[in-house]
């Protein structure tokens, strides 16, 4: 959680442990500096899935498949998960993990390879719809993804967006951050303003993990 490491450690110490195979994959990801969801975000996601019980999940940003497999673990048998990834190096690992018999929940998961914006447009064309979307990709593109995401999200469905507070830097002054990060900073603020002010979304922003926004489509 942003702000207090000791509280985060304590909250994490209360969490139910992941199944062993997922724990191994989590460790592998951390060792290889793959930016997977944090422990407290895992707990939040797991809780939301238990409450909402989605049937069709869309994930933007597979990385090596950790969060997709986690969602597969905590959803009903008939839930289907589509997950999008474009980076070749990540895809190699994702394909491997999503075919691994140690993860029986892999059968719920379909990997779509390519740039998210293009695949989102394809999914709209294919008239797909989702009752749960987990957005966890390049932060600077969230705003660009939003029109398609809104088309794909069913009324009553949830959009969960990760990394919205960027370790807290979103509150820093525009001028205190490097030029490189400034675009992301501006775009993330625009994204957060938009999802908190749209008439068709009810959104809460939480300082969990790297910042998570939870939106419900009205």
The reply on whether position 123 binds ligand SAH by CB under 6 A is no
Report how many residues bind ligand SAH under the rule CB under 6 A.
18
Site for ligand SAH in 97-116 (CB under 6 A): 115-116
Q: Which two tokens stand for residue 61?
A: 């940003």
Alpha helices, H only, the chain: 5-14, 20-31, 39-52, 66-73, 88-97, 116-125, 142-152, 179-197
132/188 Cα distance (integer angstroms): 21
CB of 155 to ligand SAH, least distance (A): 25
Q: Choosing among ligand SAH, Mg ion, none, which partner's interface includes residue 44 (Cβ < 5 to 8 Å by kind)? A: none
The reply on whether position 35 binds ligand SAH by CB under 6 A is yes
Residue 14: exposure state from Cβ atoms within 10 A (0-12, 13-18, ≥19):
exposed
107/98 Cα distance (integer angstroms): 8
Let me know: does 177 contact 169? Beta carbons within 8 Å: yes
Q: Which stretch binds Mg ion (CB under 5 A): 18-26, 47-55, 157-165, 198-206?
A: 157-165
The reply on whether position 163 binds Mg ion by CB under 5 A is yes
**Cβ within 8 Å of residue 143, ≥6 positions away:** 187, 190, 191, 194
CB of 77 to Mg ion, least distance (A): 27
Binding to Mg ion by CB under 5 A, coded x per residue (else -) over 125-144, reads -----------x--------
Let me know: does 215 contact 194? Beta carbons within 8 Å: no
CB of 217 to ligand SAH, least distance (A): 21
Q: Choosing among Mg ion, ligand SAH, none, which partner's interface includes residue 163 (Cβ < 5 to 8 Å by kind)? A: Mg ion
Binding residue (CB under 5 A) for Mg ion from 86, 130, 162, 215: 162
């Amino acid at each position: 959680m942003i702000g207090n490491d000791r509280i985060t450690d304590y909250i994490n110490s209360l969490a139910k442990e992941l199944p062993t195979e997922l724990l191994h994959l989590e460790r592998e990801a951390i060792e290889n500096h793959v930016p997977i969801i944090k422990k407290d975000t895992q707990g939040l996601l797991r809780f939301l899935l238990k409450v909402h019980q989605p049937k069709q999940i869309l994930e933007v940003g597979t990385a090596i498949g950790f969060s997709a497999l986690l969602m597969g673990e905590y959803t009903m048998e008939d839930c289907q998960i589509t997950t999008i990834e474009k980076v070749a190096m990540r895809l190699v690992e994702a394909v491997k993990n999503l075919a691994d018999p140690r993860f029986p929940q892999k059968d719920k998961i379909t990997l779509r390879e390519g740039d998210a914006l293009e695949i989102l447009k394809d999914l709209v064309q294919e008239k797909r719809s989702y009752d749960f979307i987990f957005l966890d990709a390049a932060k600077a593109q969230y705003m660009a993804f939003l029109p398609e995401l809104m088309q794909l999200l069913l009324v009553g469905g949830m959009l969960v967006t990760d990394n919205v507070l960027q370790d807290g830097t979103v509150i820093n002054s525009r001028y205190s951050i490097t030029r490189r990060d400034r675009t992301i900073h501006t775009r993330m603020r625009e994204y957060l303003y938009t999802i908190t002010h749209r008439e068709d979304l009810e959104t809460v922003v939480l300082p969990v993990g790297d910042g998570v926004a939870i939106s419900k489509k009205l």
